[in-house]
Homo-oligomer: A and B are copies of this chain.
Amino acid sequence: MRIGIIGGGAIGLLFASHLSEKHRVTLYTHTEDQASIINRDGIRLIEDGESRLLTGIISKGLDEGISGEDLLIVAVKQYHLPQVLPWINGIQVPLLFLQNGFGHISYLKRLQSPAIYLGVVEHGAMKHDGNTVEHTGLGITRIASFKGELEQLSLVNGRIDHFPFKKSEDYHSMLMDKLVVNAVINPLTAILEVENGGLITNAFYYQLFQDLFEEISDILEVRNKTESFEHVKSVCMATAENRSSMLKDLENGRRTEIDAILGHVLSEAKSKGKSDCLTSSLYRMVKGKESQGG
């Protein structure tokens, strides 16, 4: 299959390198520079301490336009979607969106493609440079349909080593589960400057962890709170050594995904008239640190 991936960040590079084993991959990058480096040197994938060079991948600047793909995977951050949409608005090929939160859902209705899928990435990935990505945590990619038949997406049926896909029935609950995990773990680790495991092992941080889960699960009206809490906790422990993406973003003076994550929770709280003291405080702390430039 001919797969186009939009976005040369950690997730875009991770998907390009793994999918290139079974598919013809074109990676659409924001800058021409990154595209030419990848065309010249390939993509280096670091996995289990070993480094592999993947060459078959073609790369192009997005502004050259998109053509001849059977599937387009949109792997840019939610806040970069507005720059990408003009290129995919009228396109008829199936689309797979990998953004966090719910901010992107409102855009999807405007797209003309008959098949639109949503994905949630549970892999750990770190971009070292323009053509090097490290697979820091083996996870899965959950995929649900927003529009069209999920069965027609051959991606979820084929097998790729170290890169499993899993079907989800309901995109809303799939995105919600990921949102709750991100909304609790990311802001706390970013402000407290600890690895994910610190939220469980430090007794004071664990109280904040519980309080924030309580507030957020109440705002988002999470159905099975006990199960959801245990899920967030298990993710925290499974990734105990990891520094969350939001913590790394602040450490590197980069923009965070706080608006797609806590921003959404806050607008839900507002529309439902629910109390959001801890959520809004953490939102302001992260926005403030972000505006300091790390």
A residues lining the B interface (CB < 8 Å): 191-192, 194, 198, 202-205, 207-208, 211, 277-278, 281, 284-285, 287-289, 291-292
> Min CB distance, A105 to chain B, in Å?
26
Using CB atoms, name the residue of chain B closest to A288.
B204
Rounded to whole angstroms, the CA-CA distance of A277 and B276 in the bound complex is 10
Rounded to whole angstroms, the CA-CA distance of A56 and B205 in the bound complex is 48
Give the residues in chain B near A289, CB-CB below 8 Å.
192
As for how many copies of this chain the complex holds, the number is: 2
Docked-complex contact A192 and B285, CB < 8 angstroms: yes
Docked-complex contact A211 and B288, CB < 8 angstroms: no
Give the 4 A-B residue pairs with the shortest CB-CB distance, closest first. Answer: A204-B288, A277-B277, A204-B284, A204-B287
14 A/B residue pairs, CB under 8 Å, sorted by A: A191-B285, A192-B289, A202-B291, A203-B288, A204-B287, A204-B291, A205-B284, A205-B288, A208-B284, A208-B288, A211-B281, A277-B277, A278-B281, A281-B281
Give the residues in chain B near A288, CB-CB below 8 Å.
192, 202-205, 208
> Min CB distance, A185 to chain B, in Å?
15
Give the residues in chain B near A281, CB-CB below 8 Å.
208, 211, 277-278, 281
Known: A191-B191, A191-B285, A281-B281. 11 other contacts (CB 8 A): A198-B292, A202-B288, A204-B284, A204-B285, A204-B288, A204-B291, A207-B284, A208-B281, A208-B284, A208-B285, A277-B277
* Listed residue (A202, A284, A292) with the most chain B CB atoms within 10 angstroms of its CB: A284
Give the residues in chain B near A278, CB-CB below 8 Å.
277, 281
